[in-house]
Amino acid sequence: MNMFKQLRNILKPFATIFALTCFGNAFAQVSYQVTDLGVPKNDNYSMIMSVNDEGWSEIMAGNFLPGQGDSLSGVPLNGRALINVDGHYVDLGTLGGPNSWMNFGEINDLAQVVGDSETAVPDPNGEDICGFGTHLTCLPFLWQSFHMSALPTLGGNNGEASAINNLGQIVGMAENGAVDPSCQTGTINNRVQLPVLWENGNAHALPTVDHDPDGFAFWINDRGQAVGYSGNCSGPIHGILWENGTASALADLGTGGFAENINNQGQIVGTVGSADGTTQTGAIWQIVKGTGTTKLTTVLGLLPGDAAGIAFGNNNEGQVVGGEWNANFYWSHAFIWQNGVMADLNTLFPASSNLFATFAAKINNRGQIGGMAIVCSGPQQGEMHAFLATPVKQIAGESIAQAAPNCLESNFPAADAVNRLLKKSGPGGQFVR
């Protein structure tokens, strides 16, 4: 019995039966049914980072101080990786430390989950890779059959797992133990971080380009094609495609970029810096069949009032989702791009949802979207909640964008929680580690 069936059988007696409708044509929907997944007890923050084709999601949840939940410099007070199955949370635990998290992370269709977790061992070099301010060793993990196990590094102390495809191939980052001369912070001698592929429990370093010392593989499709970046702490970074063990740089506008996701059709999404280096926007590349090359096909525009953005996920139907932030580096609007048109997701969410979506992390092949949103009113006003949006073929009526145009302003600052996760690739046209 696979992992999916085990979890479903355990939770079925407690689950609310939820009928998903109208998945036949993902582009035909005119609105979404929005499910507020809330936050675990005693937490004030949650966000979907990945949603599989069964509608199950991987979630990061925890607490931030008021005003820090979406701050670029905010540090979570605590954090935990979970999955949500039919409306019920399953806590994945840790590798012995107080916190687990995910630098993107994924749940695949077999209910295997990857991310990163603290151990109880202090990092001997003073690094804080998991990002909780504890300076504990941070290890990549694979969770399956109700058990979390550590993945090996490349000889260093730390690593993070970002994605797992349906063949069980995992990508992410792992340290090799060498000092990174391009990345010294005060008295901290940061270590080289290399893109890595795990197969059959073994870690294999992936190549970089232009002699870059560092890199990170963010996503891998079911054809074994992976994407991410390579670069260093002080200079531009390059979007990368890895295929058959070879790294090739993605075209950009001369100021750097990186790739976040790749579907099974070879469509890649991510972000590029503008030609003048003042901002960054979502971007789409396509692998050119039979050539081993890629082409930058689309540089996404920005929604009115936004300063920068990133395309974060795409599905096999070519739909693209992501988020944009304002000039003060607060996430402002989740978006969906399809058929050449970008839309603010909040114009497609009904007012009754009471959620204003600030970031869309992933979209599955059924058109369901997961991400984070601000609660606009009520006793949980200002909290950041994970949402799951399901396409429906019906007119939404008044949207949350119409009903609560000032929702962002009325809640505690809450827009850069994911930017903390983007610590390897900062906003505003300067891609930093």
Q: Is 95 left (phi over 0), alpha (psi -120 to 50) or beta?
A: alpha
- For residue 116, the model assigns a pLDDT of 97
- For residue 344, the model assigns a pLDDT of 97
98 pLDDT tier (thresholds 50, 70, 90): very high
Q: Is 264 helix (H, G, I), strand (E, B) or coil?
A: coil
- For residue 433, the model assigns a pLDDT of 28
Q: What's the mean pLDDT in 284-299? A: 91
The two three-digit tokens of residue 140, written as one number: 């990549």
Is the pLDDT at 427 greater than 80, yes or no?
no
Pick from 230, 222, 296, 292: nearest CA to 262: 222
Round to whole Å and give the CA distance between 199 and 168: 7
- For residue 187, the model assigns a pLDDT of 65
Helix intervals (H) in 327-425: 400-403, 407-410, 417-421
φ, ψ (nearest 5 deg) of residue 162: -110, -35
pLDDT in tens, 338-379: 999 999 999 999 999 999 999 999 999 999 999 999 999 999
Is the pLDDT at 156 greater than 80, yes or no?
yes
pLDDT in tens, 28-81: 457 999 999 999 888 888 999 999 999 999 999 999 877 665 654 567 899 999
pLDDT in tens, 236-276: 799 999 999 999 999 999 999 999 999 999 999 999 999 99
Query: Mean pLDDT score of the chain, rounded to an integer?
Result: 86
Q: What's the mean pLDDT in 180-203? A: 88
Is the pLDDT at 331 greater than 90, yes or no?
no
**Contacting residues for 93 by C-beta, under 8 A, at least 6 apart:** 100, 148
Q: In angstroms, how far is the first alpha carbon of the chain from the final one? A: 42
Q: Is 4 helix (H, G, I), strand (E, B) or coil?
A: helix
Round to whole Å and give the CA distance between 268 and 39: 31
Where is pLDDT greater, at 147 or 17?
Answer: 147
Beta bridge partners, 363, equal 369
* b/e burial code for range 187-196 (CB count within 10 A of at least 16 → b): eeebbbbbbb
- For residue 68, the model assigns a pLDDT of 60
- For residue 67, the model assigns a pLDDT of 61
Is the pLDDT at 139 greater than 90, yes or no?
yes
- For residue 59, the model assigns a pLDDT of 96
Q: What's the mean pLDDT in 311-325? A: 96
Is the pLDDT at 395 greater than 90, yes or no?
no
Is the pLDDT at 27 greater than 70, yes or no?
no
- For residue 74, the model assigns a pLDDT of 61
